[in-house]
A and B are shown apart, each in its own frame.
Chain A
């Protein structure tokens, strides 16, 4: 089946640095990808919708200057956490639609970000 590859799976960075997370659709084109954030033992919260060739759409309360999203090709979307702080530590998951919308989405395996 369709696979969304997400890297890295784990990353530790120092406060003030930036971290880039990649999400690739394998064997299919994803014009739209979604980025979620999940705190421990909590649900997935939609952060932004990534559209190929255009600006991402951010959910209310999500800082677009802190969480930079780039969707430069039909198979790659990236999330860059800029000037990371410890409170940015979380689990980040991307997803993409495969085929028609009623089939839901395929999810990446997630990235655990720890900011020290």
Chain B
């Protein structure tokens, strides 16, 4: 079974600075998808960024980028120019290529300080 590990329960960053959230996973599959979701206090899950394992290029979405290291099974999220609205829980998620269900890490609570 796939497992997703987020080793940072809580992190904080000053507004406008950069922060990196860590995520590692375990799988025997070669093709799969990785995601970062944001869950603000409203509890609504919001997709931040996604990565396809067969693509070597790291995904980027505006201020959000990932460092995908397939051999190391690592998938970290970098948030640049942090904004107060980035304060939320961030979940790393794994989905197999042939399996429809999504598995989540324990989450990292990020606080952006003014």
Contact = CB atoms under 8 A, between A and B. Distances in A.
Interface in A89-116: 91, 93, 95, 97, 101-107, 109-110
B44 A102 contact: no
26 contacts: A41-B109, A42-B106, A42-B107, A43-B104, A43-B105, A45-B104, A46-B101, A46-B102, A46-B103, A49-B100, A49-B101, A91-B43, A93-B43, A93-B45, A95-B45, A95-B102, A101-B33, A103-B50, A104-B33, A104-B35, A104-B37, A104-B95, A107-B37, A107-B44, A109-B44, A110-B43
- What DSSP secondary structure best describes chain A's contact surface? strand
B25 interface: no
Sorted nearest first, the 9 A-B pairs with minimum C-beta distance are A107-B45, A44-B104, A43-B104, A43-B106, A110-B43, A104-B35, A109-B44, A43-B107, A102-B33
Interface of B: 33, 35, 37, 42-45, 47, 50, 52, 91, 93, 95, 97, 100-107, 109
Given A43-B105, A104-B35, A104-B50, A97 B100 contact: yes
A67 interface: no
Contacts of A34: 100-102
A44 B91 contact: yes
Given A32-B100, A43-B104, 9 more contacts: A34-B102, A95-B102, A101-B95, A101-B97, A102-B50, A107-B37, A107-B44, A109-B42, A110-B44
A87 to B, nearest CB: 20
Interface of A: 32, 34, 38, 41-46, 49, 91, 93, 95, 97, 101-107, 109-110
A78 to B, nearest CB: 19
Q: Which of A97, A101, A109 has the most CB of B within 10 A?
A: A101
Nearest to A60: B1
Nearest to A1: B47
